[in-house]
Structure 1
Amino acid sequence: MIENRELLELFSNVLRKMKKEWSNQLEHGLSPSQYFILKTLKETGPRKATELAEVIQMTPGAITGASDKLVSEGYAERKGTKEDRRVVYLEITEKGKEFVENMNEKQKSVTAKFFEGLSDEDINHLIRIYKQISHNLDGKA
């Protein structure tokens, strides 16, 4: 294990700054969690709160709270099934899809800013490093 204080401080600082930049891109008062809910719904289709909670790693209660605002603002809607009216799915609306597409474009721009000035060699090193970190995290679930 690397005991390098500078590495840990820089890593934390970069994560904090990246999170702030991405959060600054959100509009209409939505939280990052609400954006991730919409993004997941756009990519995977309608989901129950328990399914979203597992995918996004939030509690079902937090999903419900976040979903309430998405529904009230018209970004998502709740739909029951004909088979069992107790089962309710959250589904993204056209307004929600447009929001996600807009955010994806903003994130591309912000992300490009993060890596501005890095050579192709540096980018390839980062890709290798991120893959290893991801692999390390997958192994510790």
Structure 2
Amino acid sequence: MTRRTSLADPPVDVGGHDSPPSTGDTELRYLVLAAQREGARAMSAQLRPLGLTPAQAEILLVLSRKAPLTLAELGRQVVCESGSPSRLVDTLTKAGLVEREPGRIDRRVIYLRLSTRGEEMIPQLREVDTAMDRMVGSGLSEEHREIVIMALRRVIDGTPSAATIAERFPREDFTGGK
């Protein structure tokens, strides 16, 4: 298995010559990008009244399920933000939605949790999350949904995003590899 650092990495040359991607590969790539764009537009529109971005909402939802977390632990759970989500957490802290607290044993370790105001937003965020899930899956049968999930897991296999997805949505039936 080849490890990639991103989907932008060039493909492995197996034939000794450059060949353009098949029309199907190009269509698939643009369908994935279009689906992501449309999902982001829909989610942004639903979150606008709450004054949140999709990435901020994801952080709040992760903290609602898993807090307390360190910044590094949170970073391993978040899909919308690559790298460290420190800027997002700073914004959410300034907005009074997230609190930082030092560890009880090692006060140098800082844990993140929702503030009371952040907790009050969670029911609305879960409604948005559920509506987005319905929108994404509404046109697919259970069988097709599983096919798409497994195919997309294979597409991202070996990337940092694959590790994040595996951490957040573990599946025993996915062995990885291509």
Shorter-chain TM-score: what band?
0.7 to 0.9
Distance in 1 (alpha carbons) for counterparts of 2:94 and 2:60:
14
Other-structure match for 1:126:
144
Q: Give the AA of the match of 1:9.
A: Y
Q: Which has the higher helix share?
A: 1
Other-structure match for 1:9:
30
Deviation per residue, 1:104-137 (Å, 9 max, x gap): 2123234434555x4xxx4234213223224414
How far residue 43 of structure 1 moved from its aligned partner, in angstroms, is: 0.8
How far residue 140 of structure 1 moved from its aligned partner, in angstroms, is: 2.6
Task: Kindly indicate whether the alpha-carbon contact (under 8 Å) linking 1:47 and 1:89 is maintained by their aligned counterparts in 2.
Answer: yes
Q: Secondary structure at the match of 2:100?
A: strand
Deviation per residue, 1:11-35 (Å, 9 max, x gap): 3222211111012111343222211
- 1:1-141 matches, cutoff 5 A: 3-4=23-24, 5-27=26-48, 28-56=50-78, 58-60=82-84, 63-114=85-136, 116=138, 118=139, 122-137=140-155, 139-141=157-159
Q: Secondary structure at the match of 2:141?
A: helix
Task: Kindly indicate whether the alpha-carbon contact (under 8 Å) linking 2:61 and 2:125 is maintained by their aligned counterparts in 1.
Answer: no
TM-score, with length taken from structure 2: 0.63
Distance in 1 (alpha carbons) for counterparts of 2:53 and 2:32:
23
Any gaps of 5 or more consecutive residues in structure 2?
1-20, 160-178
Any gaps of 5 or more consecutive residues in structure 1?
none
Change (3 A) 1:98 1:2: farther
Distance in 1 (alpha carbons) for counterparts of 2:39 and 2:57:
16
Change (3 A) 1:102 1:125: same
Q: Give the AA of the match of 1:85.
A: R
TM-score, with length taken from structure 1: 0.77
Q: Percent identity?
A: 24
Moved more, 95-104 or 7-16: 7-16
Distance in 2 (alpha carbons) for counterparts of 1:127 and 1:2:
24
Task: Kindly indicate whether the alpha-carbon contact (under 8 Å) linking 1:25 and 1:103 is maintained by their aligned counterparts in 2.
Answer: no
Aligned residues between the structures: 135
Distance in 1 (alpha carbons) for counterparts of 2:77 and 2:59:
9
Moved more, 28-37 or 130-139: 130-139
